[in-house]
Amino acid sequence: MMVRRDPATYLPLYLVTDTRLCGDRGTAAVVAEAVAGGVTCVQVRDKDAPARDLLALLTSVAEAAAGRVPVLLNDRVDVYLAARAAGAAVDGVHIGQSDLPPQLVRRLAGGDAIIGLSAASTAELREPAGFAAGTVDYLGVGANHPTSTKPDHPRPLGVAGFAAAAAAAPLPCVAIGGISAADVPGLKAAGAAGVAVVSAICAAADPAAAARELAAQWS
């Protein structure tokens, strides 16, 4: 069995894709530029795509990342497993509170898969069954600001709320939700293991430059 990667190596600058915001450029092309600019992890998220289209999207993003950073899939462990079976270089899944239970996802995905979990409330941040025995690798915590890319996000935390959440959580926490380069130093100081961005890169005219600016702020 392969040993899972240390979250500290891939969480600092975490890109979550948005097919609509990537537009005619295509998600894979935006990912290639973003990785060149310093993104350390990519999560493919397209909640409207049928399974076959999502598989094609995930595969194309994995090809664009070319093994330089982990590539994860949002929610769909079945599509992740299909991509692996097809030989794509994909590394794990990120799940929400209403998706399959983390323990079952771990059993399906295997011991070497990266598994992230969205969490917001105190109960979710301390849920012991999901965190036992290395079931989950990291938590995505937010939203930090209101964001149009996830209309059903919980009440925004802000930096102080994130700091309290990160202090209470037993796992590394990635801040997500409307994050810009200006937010990065404060969130890092508040205990973030990384920042997850969508619009800041996917909507940028120059994704590589946007990624470089975010990475510089993290550093």
Nearest Cα neighbor of 211 from 45, 69, 6 is: 69
Sequence ranges of the binding site: 43-47, 74-75, 99, 118, 147-150, 178, 198-199
Sequence ranges of the binding site for Mg(2+): 75, 99
- Please write the tens of the pLDDT for every residue from 98-151: 899 999 999 999 999 999 999 877 677 766 555 666 899 999 998 887 666 565
Tell me if 177 sits within 8 A of 145, measured CB to CB.
yes
| Calculated CA dihedral for residues 65, 68, 74, 75, nearest 10 degrees | 120
φ, ψ of residue 65 to 5 degrees: the values are: -70, -30
- Please write the tens of the pLDDT for every residue from 75-108: 999 999 999 999 999 999 999 988 999 999 999 9
Residues with Cβ within 8 Å of residue 160, at least 6 apart in sequence: 190
Please report which confidence band the pLDDT of residue 53 belongs to, taking 50, 70 and 90 as the band edges: very high
Q: Where are the domains of the chain?
A: 7-218
Q: How far apart are the first and last CA of the chain?
A: 33
Question: CB-based burial of residue 66 (10 Å sphere; 0-12 exposed, 13-18 middle, 19+ buried)?
Answer: exposed
**Could you say which architecture CATH assigns to the domain 7-218?**
Alpha-Beta Barrel (3.20)
pTM of this prediction exceeds 0.85: yes
